Chain A
Amino acid sequence: MDELELLKKDWKKQEEVFPKLSYNEIYKMILKKSSSMVKWIFIISVLEFLLWASVDISVRLSGDYDKLNVIELEGFSIVSTIISYGILIYFMIRFYLNYKRIQTTDSAKVLMQNILKTRRTVKYYVWTILSFLILNTIIFIGYLAIFTDTYSSQSEGEQVPVLLVVVSTIIGLGIFIGLIALFYRVIYGILTRRLKKNYKELEKLEV
């Protein structure tokens, strides 16, 4: 193509007009902090781990779970605590390993894959821990509503119909999940929109 060849000739000439940075100017640059998206992904991911792990742990430490002992769910409480810490540790290790794999010296495609993989690990963590918390809540409320004396021994006047408890729990959880999903679409969308677009563009070539 003629135009591109013409551009190629000019391309070489333009070196003369580029600014020439001195040794000291370049040296100053390496002392500055990066503002790359990987750094932002790392910061946001760590914040998310802290946030969701602290939600989970604070519920466990707040003493609410002690009440479970009263209603014969002690075994359930221990198992669920172990599982929740297990989930946290598993995902943090995976996150760390994926993050370590991000290298600017890889090819463009591999680099993008690794960044997306790292980001996805955090996403999976959030959804896993949320599902787990929700499952816990459902089991807890279900058990409370159907099997325990604590609930059925309340006086007739105070007693709320079981169906109402279940329905309102589901609606509450639904709204909660909806908000998280929305928040995710926005934050995750802003962060990785360009990356995903470019990755798709590279993938498209392979068809």
Chain B
Amino acid sequence: MNKELEHSFVTNLEQNQNIVHKVCRIYTSDRDSHNDLFQEITIQLWKAYPKFRGDAKFSTWMYRVALNTAITLYRRSKRSINTADIDEVNFKIKAEEYDDEVEQQLKLMYSAVKQLNDIEKALVFLYLEDKSYKEIAETMGISEVNARVKMNRVKTKLKKILNP
């Protein structure tokens, strides 16, 4: 692989690495699997990079590859444990910014999202990223109407998890 391509890829990814972190955040529950998934997404992005023509924004292009890796290609390593305790381990919310009630609500919300299946998580992720239904539909390969319907179902499901 030529050095120029490597350089432009690494620079692009360095600037946009938060997208990958956020995908890892939704799909993994501890630091080890977060890093493991980050590593795999990086490899898949790199493998697909020669086909990136620059006709879309690098970040837009990343969403697809990153989500596809998380949903389809990634094989969970044995050490990953499915718990919702990532908040304590990795991403401590800054306490001073929230009152206790809000913080509590957020914690519950994150653990509710963890209970969704892979596809539902992808929808929530894209929704949280402020993507339009058109983009969500294109990324997932479904129709826009179905993306809306499914998103509403996910919201209902989350509500049920939070208020059993």
A-side interface residues toward B, CB under 8 Å? 1, 3-4, 6-8, 10-11, 13-15, 17-23, 26-27, 29-30, 32-38, 40, 103-112, 115, 194-195, 197-198, 201-202, 205-206
Report the minimum CB–CB distance from A182 to chain B (whole Å): 23
CA of A201 to CA of B141 in the docked complex: distance in angstroms? 12
Decide if A29 touches B43 in the complex (CB within 8 Å): yes
**Distance between B20 CB and nearest chain A CB, rounded to angstroms:** 9
Check A34 against B25 for contact (C-beta < 8 Å). no
B residues adjacent to A (C-beta < 8 A): 6, 9-11, 13-14, 17-18, 21-22, 25, 38-40, 42-44, 46-48, 51-52, 61, 64-65, 67-69, 71-75, 90-94, 97, 102, 105-106, 109-110, 113, 117-120, 122, 124, 127-130, 138-143, 146-147, 149-150, 155, 158-159, 162
Cα–Cα distance between A160 and B51 once the two chains are bound (Å)? 66
Prevailing SS type, chain A contact patch: helix
Considering the complex, give the chain B residue whose CB is closest to the CB of A24: B10
Give the docked Cα–Cα distance between A1 and B119 (Å). Answer: 20
A107 touches B158 (CB 8 A): no
List A contacts of B102 (CB < 8 A).
Answer: 6
Residues in A neighbouring B159, C-beta threshold 8 A: 1, 3
Q: Which 9 pairs from chain A and chain B are nearest by CB?
A: A109-B141, A107-B141, A36-B73, A18-B21, A205-B146, A30-B46, A201-B119, A29-B42, A11-B128
CB proximity of A148 to chain B, nearest CB, Å: 53
The complex places the Cα of A17 from the Cα of B34 at a distance, in Å, of 14
Cβ-defined contact, B48 with A108, below 8 A? no
Contacts of A115 in B (CB 8 A): 72
Chain B residue numbers with a CB within 8 Å of A194 are: 118
Q: In the complex, what residue of chain A is closest to B113 when comparing beta carbons?
A: A7
A108-B139, A108-B141, A202-B142 as given contacts; A14 in contact with B25, CB under 8 Å = yes
Query: How many angstroms from the CA of A3 to the CA of B51 in the assembled complex?
Result: 39
- In contact, A104 and B149 (Cβ under 8 angstroms): no
A-B contact pairs, 23 of them (CB 8 A): A3-B158, A3-B159, A4-B124, A4-B155, A6-B109, A7-B106, A7-B128, A8-B128, A11-B128, A17-B92, A17-B94, A29-B43, A33-B43, A34-B43, A37-B74, A105-B64, A107-B139, A108-B72, A108-B122, A109-B142, A202-B119, A205-B149, A205-B150
